[in-house]
Amino acid sequence: MPEKYKRGTRKTLSRAMSNLNQSINTLKNTPMSILYKMRNLPKPNEEELTYLFPIPVSRGRKTLDDWAEEASMSGTLSAADVAAAMKSLEKFIIKSLRGGYQVSLNGIGSLSVVLSSHKVTNDKYIRANSIEVKDVNFRCSKTFVSQIKGATIEKAVLPKPTSYTFEERKQRLLDYMTTNSVITRSTYLALNGCDENIWRKDVSFYMVKKILMPQGKSPACYYILRSVYDANRPKRKGSR
């Protein structure tokens, strides 16, 4: 790290990473498992035959706030210190990627940018200003993946479909969001004991009526309350 960085910042980052390692060691001794369910997969050209394949059933969503709180419990840093260190790391990653570097997160994986342009057959027909960043790739390290591969796998015990009315499902959603900042598709299905068709109809209504707002892309999409998003959105200059 360059000398221009303050000594306090270096110490905070170092202590935060130490707390992260302690947190990971604690997790190793915590009983954990990955839940799954089986889904039908039609066999090409043979509609009468189907295969089953496993898909994970999420227990919920963990955020950096959860990590900050957990890391602070296993070390001397407060949750605010850990969150500040993570924010500094986020800025470092953005600056590095924008500067043309790949970023290696030791032991976890690496980040790199993906570029896109219109189709050409000769590079003389393309200019730099017509090329843009399409996405950011994240590739897990083999060591990181190998540690996850040893996880225990358990079949999920899914709730049986219930007969909640739409208004009841809506109220259960709002009650859930009073103590949780986000909700996922799988959480909504478990909360209301409904199927995918009902979920799609409900979430479409919530978005049209500006109750929920999607964040992220499938399959990692989650939803937040639109009212919370609007309340925290920076106001434009000149607006009242």
Provide the residue-wise pLDDT of the chain in tens; the chain has 240 residues.
444 444 555 555 665 555 555 555 545 445 478 888 887 765 555 555 667 888 888 777 777 777 777 777 766 777 788 888 888 999 999 999 999 999 999 889 999 999 988 887 777 777 888 888 999 999 999 999 998 988 999 988 776 667 789 999 999 999 999 988 899 888 898 888 888 889 999 999 999 999 999 988 766 788 999 988 888 776 665 555
Work out how many domains the chain is built from and give that number.
Answer: 2
Final residue of a structural domain among 94, 122, 149: 149
The pLDDT of residue 238: 58
Same domain, 170 and 145: no
Please state the length of the chain. Answer: 240
Cβ-proximal residues to 77 (8 Å cutoff; 6+ apart), any chain:
12, 15, 16, 19, 71, 85
The pLDDT of residue 171: 95
Range of the domain at 45: 7-104+141-149
pTM across the whole model: 0.54
Q: Is residue 57 part of a domain?
A: yes
